[in-house]
Amino acid sequence: MLRFLAPRQVTPPAEAWQRGRRWRNARRLHLLRHGTCAACGSSTRLHVHHVLPPAVAPAELYEGGNLVTLCTSYRYGVNCHLFFGHCGNWGNYNPHVRTHAAEFLASLTMHVA
């Protein structure tokens, strides 16, 4: 069963999204290593999500340990990026996104097997 803590709110500064070439390279490398959604296994409509957003952890903007792949494919009726990464509200962030995504993926594989 997924257990969510109270979501945390953050308002990222506008310049955090103007990352340029360094971000594009970090994103590309992350997707080469982690080419499927951590929550549902989809390989379409992928997003590289920051576990801790740039406004909270600016030093970890390009760090692989702060990144997780999530999708917006609605493969199982869920927008994984919104639901797991932002707890259903784009203004929130979920510092436990990896754990929650892994639990959901495990529950899917139990039902398929």
What mean pLDDT comes out for the span 32-51? 97
Strands 92-93 and 67-71: unpaired
pLDDT attached to residue 1: 47
Q: For 40, phi and psi rounded to 5 degrees?
A: -125, -10
Q: Is residue 103 part of a domain?
A: yes
pLDDT at 94: 97
Q: What global pTM score does this model have?
A: 0.83
Task: Kindly report, residue by residue over 43-68, the tens digit of the pLDDT.
Answer: 999 999 999 998 899 899 899 999 99
Burial of 49 (0-12, 13-18, 19+ CB in 10 A): buried
> Does 7 have pLDDT greater than 70?
no
Number of domains in the chain: 1
Residue 7 covered by a domain: no
Query: Is 4 contained in some domain?
Result: no
Q: What is the pLDDT of residues 79-99, one digit of tens each?
A: 999 999 999 999 999 999 999
The answer to the question of residue 3 being in a domain is no
Residue 5 within any structural domain of the chain = no
Paired with 8 in beta bridges are 93
Strands 8-9 and 92-93: antiparallel
Tokens in use for 22? 């360094």
Residue 83 DSSP symbol: I
Q: Is 1 contained in some domain?
A: no
Residue 57 placed within a domain: yes
Domain range for 74 is 19-112
Region 30-50: mean pLDDT is 97
Q: What is the mean pLDDT of the chain?
A: 86
In a domain, 6, yes or no: no
